[in-house]
Amino acid sequence: MPIGDDLPLRPTRPGLITRLRNYFLTGLIVIAPIGLTFWLIWSIIGWIDSWVLPFVPARYRPDIWLLQRFDIDLDIRGIGVAFFFLFTLIIGWGAKGLIGRSVLRWAENLVQTMPVVRSVYGGLKQIAETILAQDQSSFENACLIEYPRQGIWALGFISTSAKGEIAARAGVPMMSIFLPTTPNPTSGFLLFVPAEDVVILDMSVEDAAKLVISAGLVYPGSKTPGETIPDLAPPET
């Protein structure tokens, strides 16, 4: 029969303060993404309303109708979004027709006569068509390139293969790579990299974007069978 030091040691149970702290952090991890998502959606809706509602006649606004009829001052979010959605549908439907295309062509020809405006309009139109095109994705794949020097790898997105004068003067197959900044991926650098120096990743563009936005904290799951990502979380004390 084991006695003295031979007795197995019972694991120490975390104290009350430690358990409360762990419960709080776990709840915060669950609540924070949900709360931030709702806050972001609520803020975007309010921002759109602030731009659209001044152009909506008062007789079509439910909040003003409630205030005038029942003296109820109620902030109804989403009215501007609904009007913007309806207005955009009407514009899209009209632009598909013969008359709409003619009016649009006339307006674009008018813009082309304005030196500064035509440059801004042309760039914004090309960006919008690239991002919102229904028949193609914004980026093809996520990739790794050595930047800003050899031995240091950066995560980027493949836009397309280089074309035109750039491809002709380079002499080798080139790829246009968008190198985003962290944690704001909407800004970054456009690099033209030889295709042989680009390492195409298996992860999706969405997973790569999460990795950039989180500054490397949210890592996508491995696609290699049997490979696991180690848990670096500190043990509970």
DSSP string covering 215-237: TT-SPPPP-STT------SPPP-
The answer to whether residue 27 sits within a structural domain is no
Q: Look up residue 231 and give its amino acid.
A: D
Report how many domains make up the chain: 1
The answer to whether the CB of 156 falls within 8 A of the CB of 142 is yes
Reading the block at residue 33, the tokens are 């993404």
Average pLDDT over residues 114-134: 74
CB atoms within 10 A of CB 118: 14
pLDDT of residue 5: 53
pLDDT of residue 136: 53
> What pLDDT digit, counting tens, does each position of 20-50 carry?
888 898 888 889 889 988 999 999 888 888 8
DSSP letter (8 states) at residue 13: P
Is cis: bond before 173, omega within 30 of 0? no
CA-wise closest residue to 209 among 146, 160, 150, 137: 137
HEC string for 83-103: HHHHHHHHHHHHHHCHHHHHH
> What pLDDT digit, counting tens, does each position of 149-173 carry?
888 999 999 988 888 888 888 889 9
The answer to whether the CB of 161 falls within 8 A of the CB of 173 is yes
> What pLDDT digit, counting tens, does each position of 105-122 carry?
888 888 888 887 778 887
The answer to whether residue 121 sits within a structural domain is no
> What pLDDT digit, counting tens, does each position of 54-85 carry?
888 877 777 787 777 787 777 778 888 888 89
CA distances from 229 to 59, 78, 126 (A): 59, 42, 41
The answer to whether residue 202 sits within a structural domain is yes
The answer to whether residue 123 sits within a structural domain is no
CA distances from 65 to 48, 58, 68 (A): 20, 8, 5
d(CA 153, CA 219): 16
The answer to whether residue 225 sits within a structural domain is no
The answer to whether residue 18 sits within a structural domain is no
The answer to whether residue 154 sits within a structural domain is yes
Strand partners, 189: 179
Average pLDDT over residues 208-221: 82
pLDDT of residue 229: 45
Q: Residue 130 — pLDDT band, cuts 50, 70, 90?
A: low
Q: Residue 144 — pLDDT band, cuts 50, 70, 90?
A: very high
- Whole-number mean pLDDT of the chain? 80
Which residue range(s) make up the domain with 160? 141-213
The distance of Cα 144 from the centroid of its chain, to the nearest Å, equals 20
The answer to whether residue 5 sits within a structural domain is no
Q: What is the pTM of this model?
A: 0.51
Q: Residue 98 — pLDDT band, cuts 50, 70, 90?
A: confident
d(CA 193, CA 176): 7
